[in-house]
Structure formats: structure tokens, C-alpha cells
Amino acid sequence: MNIQALVSLDRTKCAVQCNSKKRILEIISDIAAETNAEIQKEDALNALLSREKMGSTGIGNGIALPHGRLANLSKVTAVVVTTTPAIAFDAIDDKPVDIFFAILVPETQTEGHLQTLATIAGKLSQKSIVKTIRNAESKEQVIAALCDEAAQ
């Protein structure tokens, strides 16, 4: 899956003030529901919280990839949020998280879901992209950091 096809300005927020894991998942769910009529906020939040109960989606280096499956969803919906300050998220390296790349996928897309997560994780393993996202002052800059490299 191409990252450019996933991200959009209306589903990206920069420097969000947040102080808890549950609150950032609520914000992500709000954004998803506001921008996709197929998504109900409560369903998105429940899917994300259920996945977190199985183990944190904090992959280290201040990055988390929250994800969940939703019935009645026709295509993958991604939400990208950066927070100020970084928040405790039970990440694998125990460091706080300030970059969240969340995806909600149709319940039936098992293989595609894993490939999408792998693509995102690969992109966010590039230090230059992460640094640019962390220094971004606007959602346009966040999107540019994710997409400029995707075209190469």
C-alpha cells in the first residue's frame, strides 16, 4: 500500500495537546469519524482500545501505530497525529510517544492490514522522516515528510 494513498490533510493533526493514552485514541477516533461517514467514533475507539489491550502498538523511538478492524468499513482509513508533549504509551522501549500513525481497516482485510502496517513501520524507521515529522509545525509539513520520500 502506498502511503500517499493513505494520508490526507483532513486526517492529520500537528502538535496536539494530550496527556494520556486513552485521550490520544479518543482524538484519533474523533478525526476518523469526522472524516469518514462509515466510521462511528465509539466503534473506532473500541477497536483501538481492544487492540491496545493485547499489547501496546508503541513500536519505539517515540512512534505508535494504533490500529483496529471495523465492520462495514470499505477502505483503510489512516489518521496521523503528533503530540506536544510526548505521552506515556507503554511503548516497547518504555519511551513516551509523540508520533501516532493510526489505521482502521475493514474487518475482512487481514493480509492487506499487515502489509499496510509493515509499509508504515518501514517509512517511520527512516530517521530523516521521523526528524522532519517531529520538527513539523503544520500538518502540511507532516504529510510532505511522509509522501516526499514515498515517491522516491
Question: Pairing state of beta strands 77-87 and 12-16?
Answer: parallel
Q: Which of 21, 51, 67, 139 is catalytic?
A: 67
67 is an active site residue: yes
What is the distance between the alpha carbons of residues 98 and 19, in angstroms, rounded to a whole number? Answer: 11
DSSP letters for 50-97: HHHHHS--EEETTEE--EEEETT--S-EEEEEEEEEEE----TT---E
What is the distance between the alpha carbons of residues 86 and 99, in angstroms, rounded to a whole number? Answer: 8
**Residue 122, H or E segment:** helix 110-123
What residues contact 57, with CB distance under 8 A and at least 6 apart?
51, 64, 65, 66, 67
Active-site residue list: 67
